[in-house]
Structure 1
Amino acid sequence: MTARHNLPIPRLSLWLTHAGMLAEQVLRAFWPFFSIFMAILAVLMLGLQDHVRVEMVWAAGAIAAIAVMATLVWGFRRFHLPSRAEALMRLDASLPGRPIQALMDDQAIGAMDAESVALWQAHQTRMAQRAAQAEPVKPDLRLADRDPYALRYSALLALVIAGLFGSFWRIGSVAEMTPGAAIAGQGPSWEGWVEPPRYTGLPTLYLADQSGTTLSVPQGSRITLRFYGEVGDHSLTETTSPIGAESASEPEQDFVATRSGQLTIDGPAGRDWAVNVIADTSPKIAVAEDAEAEAGGRMKLLFAAADDYGVVSGSAVIALDLPEVSRRYGLATAPEPRDVIQVELPMPIIGDRMDFNEALIEDFSQHPWAHLPVKITLTARDAADQDGHSEPYQTNLPARRFFDPLAAAVIEQRRDLLWARDNATRVSRILRAVSHLPEGFFRSETAYLRLRVTLRRLEMFDDYGLTLEQQEEIAQALWDLAIIIEEGTLADALERMRRAQERLSEAMKNGATDEEITELMQELREATQDYMRQLQRLAQENGEFDQNQQSQNDDALQMTQDDLQRMMDRIQELMEQGRMAEAQQALEEFQRMMENMRVTQGQGQGQQSEGEQAMEGLAETLREQQGLSDQAFRDLQEQFNPGAQAGESQGNEGRNGGQGRGQSHEGQGGRGSDQDSDGEQGQGSLADRQQALRDELGRQQQNLPGAGTSEGDAARDALGRAGRAMDEAENALRNDDLADAIDSQSEAMEALREGMRSLGEALAQNQQNQPGQGSQEGDMQANSRDPLGRSPGANGSISTDDSLLQGEDVYRRARELLDEIRRRTGDTDRPQIELEYLKRLLERF
C-alpha cells in the first residue's frame, strides 16, 4: 500500500482541523502555566503588592517564579505538535467509510483483471466524492478531567476583576521593590494628588503630571502630599486652606483648598503653582410660568432650576399673604395660627440636574387657604448643602372650583370655619338659613339630610366650645357634602345630563380654565350617551312608540350619535376660541333639542317576554322603594319642622294623587294614615313595608334571566347590593334612625337602577345573538352586520351610528377591540372573506 498526496480534500477543512488539534495540545499541556500566569497578573494589576511588606512580596515573587518555570517545563514535556497525517486521520475518522484512507490505498489483488480494476476505480471515485465533502472537525477543548477543581476559571475570573477595577500601571510598582530600587527610593522625592469633591464627578489629578504654573481646582478639593527621604528635605508652603501652612516638613500633608492661593514644594524637584479655586455657586431656582389649576383642582406650578454641579433636592413653602386677603364676611375675624405648607419639589429621574424644568403638581383643594392670596417660595439645594431661594411668587392658591351655587356656598362656609373657630356660630346660622326651605333648592334628599345632620353637630359642638378635632370633622363633612351637591348622586340619565349642562354653563359664566372646560365637556358627553341609551331601552321595554307618533309630535326630534357629537364638538370649539356667548347659545339650543328628543320604536306585539316582565317588576320595585324613601324623608322633615304638612311641595306627588311621593297623604297633617301621632307605629309600618319589598326583590332576583353572561351576572350583583341596602334600611327604621334609613334606601335605589341597566344590556346582547327571532327584519339586520357585529350607517353608509366606546376608557376599549380582532383572525372556521377583512384591519391599526 502506497500513499497518495493529491487527495481531493478541502484545504480549509484540513487546516482548521490541524489548528484545532494544535489548540488541544497547547491547552492540555500549558493550562497550569496559563492559570498561574493569569493569577499573578491579576494580583499585580490589583496592586496587592502595595499593601504588604516588601519581604512578603519577594517571597511571593520567588514562589511565583518557581511555579511558572515548573509549569512551563511540565507543559513542554507533554506538548506534542500534531502532524499533517494525524490531521488527515482525524478528518478521516469523521467521515463514513474512511474515504481518505481508501484513497491512499492501492489495489493489491486483481490488478490484471479489467473488471476488478473498473470496480476498484468506481470505489475510488465514490470515496473521492465523500472526501471532497469533508467538514472541519471540532477540537476537544474540555479540561474537566485534568482540572477537576476549575482552577483555570478561578484565575480567569481574577484577571477579569483586575481588568475592571485594577490597572496595568500598578504592575510597575514591583520594580520599585527590588533591592536596588528600594535604596534609590530612600532618596528625597515627593508625590501628590488633588481629589475634587465626589459630587463634581471630576477625576483625581496627579500633581507630578501637572504642567504649567497655574492649577485650577474646584472648591473643597482635598490635596494630599507625601515626602520621601530625610525629614526636612522637602517642605510645603500653601495659602489655600483656612489655616495655611509655611515650611511644613511632615512626611504626609493633607488639607482642603477653600480659596485661591499659592502652593509651593521646596526641595529636590520642587514645584510651585498658583492655585485657582473655582467657587461652588449656590443653585438658582425660579417660577417659570404662572400657577394654574388642572382638571380636578390640582395646582400645577412650573419652575426652572440650575446649578453648576447639579441640584440635589428642592422644596416649596406656601405662606398666607394676609395683607392681600379681602377681610370681609367670615374672613374679617382674626385667623387662627396655621403652619405654612411645605412640599418637596419633584426632581428629574433621568439626565443631569444642572439645568432643568419641572412642574410641581399638588392638590390643595381642601386646604383652608384654597383660592386665597399666598406667597410661594421655592428652594433648591446642591450637594454642598448650599441653598438657593426664588423670589416670593404671589398668587391665589389654585384649587378645585365649585360651579354649583349651593356647593360653592357650602365650601365658603367650610373655609370660614377653618379660618377661625370663632366663626362657628356665624357658619351654623348661614347653613340653617340655606336649608330653611329645601324644596326646589336641594336636588338631592341625601344632601339635605347630610347638611342638617352636620349643622346639628356643629351647633352641639359650638355650645361647648369647638375643638380642633371637631373643627376638622365638621370641615370634612362639609367637603363631602359639597362634592355630593356638585357631582350629585343622580341615577336618572336625563337629570344627570341636565346637571352636566348646568355645570358647563356655570363654568362658562365664571371663566373656568381650559382643563375644567374639557373635564365638564367630557362629563356632558357621557351623560348624553347614558340618556340616549335610556331612551332606547325605555322604547324597547314599553313598546309605546310607533312610526306615526314621530310625525304627530312637531317638537320631537330624531338625531344620531354623530349629530350629537358634532354639536358638542362645535360647543367645545367655540369655548376654546373664547366665543363664550355663542357657546352659551349653542349649549341652550343643544339642551332644548335633547329635552324634545324622542326615540321611535315599532309597536310590540304578542305577550311580554321573560326579560320584559323582569324589567317591569324591577321598575315597580324601584317605584315602591322611592315611595318609601320619600315618606321617610317627610317624617324626618316633621322632626325638624313640625307642622310642615309632611313635605307638601311642588313636584312631590304621592302614588294616589296626594302631594309628596310617598304611598299616601290621606292622613291628618300630611302623615300617612298608617301612622299615629307619636310616629312609632308609622315607622314600624315603614319597616314592615321595607321588609316586604326586600322579600319581593329576592323573588325577582331568583327569576332573573341572563344567567351565565357578564351583563346578567352584573345585574345579579347589583340586585344583591340593593337587597343588603334594604336590610340596612329596615334595621334603621326599626331603630327610629330615619337619616341612616334614607341613606340606605338611596343606595338601594342606585343599585336597583344599576341592575336594571345591566339587565337591559344583557337582553340587548341576547337579541344581537339571536337577531329578529326568525322575523324577516331580524334576518335582514343580521345579514347586514359587518364581521365585527356592527350595524351599517343610515342611507347605505359604511359607517355606524352605534356608540362603540359606551362611555368607557378609550384606550382600554381600543385594546379590547384589537384583542377581539386578533382572536377572530385565528379562527380558521370563519368565512375567508371575513378573515381577509380582519387581516386588513390588523395591517391598518
Structure 2
Amino acid sequence: MDQGEGLNTLGKKLAATRRRLTLLALGRAWWPAFVFIAGFLAIALAGGFDRLSSFLAALILPLLILTGIGLCWMSWRRYRRPAEADVVRALDGQSELRPVSSLTDRPADPAAGPASLWRAHRARLVAEIGNLRLPRLAAEWAALDPYRVRYIVPVVVVALALVAGPAAPGRILRALSPDLGALAGADKMVVEAWVTPPEHTGRAPVFLQAGMKDVRVPVGSEITLRTQAPSAPKLILRGDKRKTMRFAQTPEGAFEARARIEGDTRLTVNWWGERARWNFIVLPDEVPLIAFDSPPAPGQRDQVEFKWKAGDDYGVTAVELAIRLRVPHPAAPEAEDRVPVPMPGAPGARELSATAQLDLTRHRWAGLPVDVRLVARDGAGQEGFSESMPFILPEKLFLDPLAQAAQEARVTVLREPRPYAEMPRNDQALTDGAINTAATGRLDAAPEGVRQAALMLDSVTYRGEMFINDLGAFMGLRMALGTLQTAGTKAEADAVEPLLWAIALKLEHGSVADARARLEAARAALERALREGAPEEEIRRLMEAFRDAANEYLAAKMAEAMAGGLDAPEQQQDGQAQAGGDSLGGQDFEDMLNALQDLTETGAAEQARQLLSDITNLLENLEFQRGQGQGDGMPGEQADGEDSDLPPEEQELTDAMRRLSEILREQRQLNDDTLAQQRGEQSGQSGQQPGEGTDQGEGTGEGQEQDGGPGQGTGTPGAGRGGSLAERQAELGRLVEELARRGGNSGQTGEEGAGQPGAGLDEDALRAILEAQRRAERALQGGNEGRAVMDQERATQMLSELSREMAEQIDQMRANRLGEQGQNSNDPLGRPLTGAGNDGQGVEIPSESERQRAKDILDELRRRYGEAEDEEEREYLRRLLERF
C-alpha cells in the first residue's frame, strides 16, 4: 500500500471509530430519555391512553411532559463528545507500533542516512494501518445495556405500530393532545342541539346526536344549542363566512345559542377545546310554480272565473291575481294590484288545483282592459308567476242614473295615481286673528282625478233635496263631496270609496244588496278562518255572525218579494219562513246551519267549507216568484187543489214520498234523542226528558188528520212524540209497516194501485227498514242504547236511500210533464224541482251520531298526539289531524 492510499484508509477508520464512540457516548447519556420516549410510544400505540378517562389522561400528560423534559436536560448535561485522543487510542491499542499516533512523529536527524530509515519506518506504519480493525466496543455496550434494551424497545414499538395499522397516528396524536378541558370539568359537558326547519316546510325538528355527519336541513332552518358549563361556550359557524358568537345565559342558569343556517355550514362548540361539531348541508327551497288551466272569463253574477294549478316543494301558502292596466297611467306605469285567490284545503299543500270565482266589480279598474297573471307564494316568501293574459275586468251594471253617477265619481278618485301637491306653509296661521287660508284650498292641491270627482258630486247634488227622492243617498253624496273637499292626501280622498259604493248599490238594488254584502263578508271571514286553522273561539264567533247574516238575507229577500206584490210565505212552526217552499223549509235551513256549526267544531274544515259554499249558493240563487197554481204564493208551494191536477202515477208517488220524508225526519230526531240518552243528556224533544208525554203532536197541521186519505194517514210521524224511546220507535215501525202494506206491489200503477199512498215503494226495502226498526225497539226495551243507535242508523240510511230513489222518480216525472207544458222545472234555489217530500238531500248533512263520532275521533287523535314520544308516530298523527 502506498503512503497516499494508507493515509486515506486511516482517515476513514478514524471517522468510523469516531462515530462508534459518539454513539456509545449518546447511549451512555441519553438512555433514560430513550427508554422513556420509547415506552410512551409503545403505550400510546397499544391504546393505553385511550382507555384512560379524559380527566386522568389530561392529568398524566403534563407529568409525562415534565418528566421527559427533565430526562432530556439531564441527558444533555451528561453527554460528552468523544475526544480525538480517545479515537486514536481505540485504534492504536490494536498494534504495538501505534500506527495512528506514530504517523504524526517527525525524524530528529534530517540527514540522508537516517532519512532512508525513516521512510522505511513510515512504510511499515502505513502497512500496519491496513491491519487495524474498527473497535467493536462490545464490552462497553454490555456494561451499559446488559439486557439489550436498545434492541427490544424499538422492535416492540415497530410491532405495535404494525398491529395498530391506520389507527397508529391517531392514537399517538390523542396521547399527545388529550382533552385538557377535562381538568376544568369540560369532559362532563353535554351539548343538546336540535334543528327546527322553517314552519312552511312542514318538517319535524331534527334532534342532533354526537357523531352525525352531513345533516341535511332546509335552508333557513334554526339550530338551537343548550348546555351546562361554568362559563359561556363559544359557537363557531364556518360557511361562506366565519361567524363566532357566545352562548347566552338563560334564567335557569344554562347557556343557550341560536343560529340560522342559510348555506352549507360547519358548526363547532368550543369551551376548553371542541365540545361538539356538526356539518350541515342545506336543501334548496325551489320557487313555486303556477299557471292558468283555463284563461279568465266572465262568470255568473259578473264574477271572474278561471282554473289554475300551482305547486311547490314545501307547499303554496298564498295565491294572488296580479292586475296591471294594459295601457298604464303615465304617472304610474308600474302600478299593479293584487287580489287574493281562495285556496282549496289548508295552506301549505304541495299540489293545488282549483276553479276560482272572484268578484272584481268593485276593483278600481273594473271595465278596463288589463293584463292578469297569477302569483304563488311559499312559506319562505318566494314568489312564482304565471304567464300574463289579457282580460277586461267585468263591471257592475248600474241602471239608476244617480247610482251611475256615484260609481263614476268613485272610480275617478280610485284611478287617480298622483299624490296631492305640496301645500304652501302659512307661518301666520297660528297668530292671533290670522285666517289659515291654505286649509280651505286643499282641493286646489288635489290631483286632477280628485278635483273632477268633486265637481261631479257637486253637480249631481246641486239642489238635490228637491229632486233626489232618497234623502239618505243625497246626504251620503254630500258627505262624500265634503270628504273630497277637505282631504289633504290621496289616502284621505280614497276614504270615500266604501261610501260611494254603498250608495250606488243601495240606489240600484235597495236593502237586499246590504244584506247580501253582509252575507258575503261573513262567508269570506268564516271560510278564511277555516282555511287558516283559526282558534275554535274565533270560528264559533264567525259561525254565529254567518248565521245572523244568512237569516237577515232571507228576511230582506222576503221583504223585497212582498214589496213586489207577492204574498207572504207561510210560517212553519219553528218560526222560520219557508223561503224555498218544500225545497228549503225553515227546519231544513236550520239543520244545514247546525250541521255547518258541528263540522266547524269537529275540525272538519274541508267539509265545512264545502257546506258553507253550498249554503251561500242556495241563498244567492233564491228567487221569489208568483205561484204557478191558483193564486199567488211562494215558488214551490202548490195552491189548494193543485195536487188533484197531477197525473195519477205522479200523485201516488208524491203522496208516498211525503209520508216517507216525514218518517225519515222523525227517525233522525229519534236517533239524536237515543244518542243523547246514551250520553246521559236531555233529548231534543222540546226540552222534555225521554219518556215524557205531550198532548200536542209536533207535526199535526194542515192536511194531517186521522183518516187515511192521501197525505192524511193515521199516526202522522210528527204527532205524539211523547212516550219512551222504545214506544216512539215502535210507532215509526208501525207507520213503515202500513206503508209497506199499502204499496205492497212495487211499481204498481193504474186502477189496482191508484189511491194508495204507498204505491211504487220497494217492498223489500221497506221490510229491511222495518226489521232494523224492530231490532232497535228491542234494544231500547232492553236498555242497550248503543245497539239501538246502530240499528237506527241503518234504518235511517235505508230510509234516506229509498227517499232519494223516490225523489229521482218524481223529478223525472215532473220534468217530463213540465217539459210538455213548457214550464220552468227549477225551484227558487236554482235546483231541479223534486218531490214534495224532498228533505234537502242535495246537501249531505251528517246526523248527530256521526258528528259525535267525529268529535270523539278528533279528541282521541289529539290525546295520542300529545302523549306520543316516537317522532315517526307524532308525524303520522299530525298528518291524520291535518286530513281530519
Q: Same fold per TM (> 0.5)?
A: no
* TM-score, normalised by the number of residues in structure 1: 0.30
The structure that has the greater radius of gyration is 2
* TM-score, normalised by the number of residues in structure 2: 0.29
